[in-house]
Amino acid sequence: MKHHVKLFYSFFQVAVRREMAYRGTYLAGIVGQWVSFAATFATIYILVSSFGMVGDWNGAEVMVLYGMDKLAYALGASFFFNFSSGLSRRIRSGEFDGSLTKPIHPFLHEILSCGYNIGYVSHISISIIVLVIALSALQYHITLHGVLLILSMVVSGALIQGAAFIASSTWSFFTISDHSVLDLMYDVRDFIHYPITIYPRGIQFILTFILPFAFMNFYPAAALLGKEIPTGYPAFLPYLSPVVGVLLFALSILLWNWGLKHYQSTGS
């Protein structure tokens, strides 16, 4: 374990150095992402508050929903985005085969060597700011219990997102194509920008039990703010995020390893 922490640290240093080689670009990129996200946050807030409510959630509550999603997404993506989006390219170029020869498990080596993506600093910072503003606008009484709840929800969300990245990259073992599965994942994720109660029951079911992205923000935020969940669903569901997160993460690694077993090198 200690060995792995040390390994992670040295790979992390490489990632930071790589980004800092273009310091100006890095900073300009961070600011650019702030501009872009601030615009998205602001337009959604303007929309919801101009109508008052969307599916019984007001503007500030939707900001909690959206901020939580962005934060959990960014945490998951900082570890797994490069890994997932790059896998098919690394397979095609033969770089991936290098990971098979290393003295640690190929999955671990892939994650460490693809680099922690420090670009997500901008997602993380802006979503924390939005969360703080939205929660104080809602006069949310902050307690130790509340902070722990939020943290555990965000970590679970990050695990769900990580699982989504790992699972969609598994596709690359079977076909030498672009990452259209990853694109599809993003299209499905877009559904959770709004409270899932606005969708028909079929879609709520899919987002809860089949592709459970709703556990990244809707259920945690519903637990935090005491909002209604879809009728007929058990009342403990909003608290299940950690279980869902750990379970999906484990399953996605099993899936990835199963994919690896069926992998045949391109020979390049």
Contact residues for another protein, defined by CB under 8 A: 22, 24-25, 28-29, 31-33, 35-40, 42-44, 46-47, 50-51, 54-55, 177-178, 180, 183-184, 187-188, 190-191, 193-194, 198-200, 203
Backbone CA torsion sign across 214, 219, 221, 222: positive
Rounded to 5°, the CA angle 140-242-154 comes to 45
Q: Which amino acid is at 58?
A: N
Nearer to another protein, 113 or 204 (CB): 204
Phi, psi (degrees; rounded to nearest 5) at 57: -110, 130
Q: Which amino acid is at 71?
A: L
CB-based contact 235:145 (threshold 8 Å):
no
Nearer to another protein, 38 or 254 (CB): 38
Least separation in angstroms between residue 175's CB and another protein is 9
Least separation in angstroms between residue 257's CB and another protein is 26
Tokens standing for residue 65: 């929903």
Least separation in angstroms between residue 59's CB and another protein is 12
Could you write out the three-class secondary structure of 79-119?
HHHHHHHHHHHHHHHCHHHHHHCCCCCHHHHHHHHHCCCHH
Nearer to another protein, 62 or 248 (CB): 62
Least separation in angstroms between residue 139's CB and another protein is 23
Surface-to-core class of residue 49, CB atoms within 10 Å of its CB (0-12 exposed, 13-18 middle, 19+ buried): middle
Nearer to another protein, 159 or 196 (CB): 196
Least separation in angstroms between residue 74's CB and another protein is 15
Nearer to another protein, 180 or 257 (CB): 180
Least separation in angstroms between residue 42's CB and another protein is 6
User: Which one-letter DSSP state was computed for residue 57?
Assistant: B
